[in-house]
Amino acid sequence: MQNNPAQGRAPGAVSTFEAMKRGFSGCCPHCGEGGMFRAFLKVADEGPGCGEALHHHQADDFPAYVVIVIVGHILVPLVLLVETHIAPPFWVGMTLWPAAVIALSLALIQPVKGAIVGLQWALGMHGFDQAKKERDALAAGLVPAAE
Ligand SMILES: [Zn+2]
């Protein structure tokens, strides 16, 4: 992974955006290897490739709030557009929109949760603070790399 020193990060450090991108893809924010989730919304205790502790995350309800905001911003304008310009029969609206809400929400909830876990990991929130301090010290060359 390339690193831009102009951004003020130590060499080898993973940016917050990269960690969130990895999490969004269901990959470990630390090494980028897949398998962050051991079930649909259950985060694995450790990254499967590197053993990075992931059990510290406290995503709680935040992924659901983010999904509601995203789905709302997609579907509300679409509903207004379709209902005002096409005006389909009542049963179509009562079938189509709830199905769209459910499908979009299910499609987004895991990636959004992964991105939030990646964000917490990158920022050293909750129990991730010690791991972040160790990463920062390693990247700054204050601690010799293991192996
Ligand atoms: Zn990993």
pTM: 0.84
DSSP string for 11-37: TTPPPHHHHHHHHHTTB-TTT--B--B
The rounded Å distance from CA 85 to ligand 1 centre is: 49
Whether residue 67 contacts residue 105, with contact meaning beta carbons closer than 8 Å, is answered with yes
Q: Residue 45 domain-assigned?
A: yes
Number of domain units in the chain:
1
For residue 126, what are the domain limits? 13-139
Q: Residue 55 domain-assigned?
A: yes
The rounded Å distance from CA 77 to ligand 1 centre is: 39
Q: Residue 145 domain-assigned?
A: no
The rounded Å distance from CA 31 to ligand 1 centre is: 4
The rounded Å distance from CA 52 to ligand 1 centre is: 5
Q: Give the model confidence (pLDDT) of 108-124 as tens digits.
A: 999 999 999 999 999 99
Beta bridge partners of 84: none
Q: Give the model confidence (pLDDT) of 24-60 as tens digits.
A: 999 999 999 989 999 999 999 999 889 999 999 999 9
- Mean pLDDT lowest among 31-35, 42-46, 64-68, 132-136: 132-136
The rounded Å distance from CA 19 to ligand 1 centre is: 11
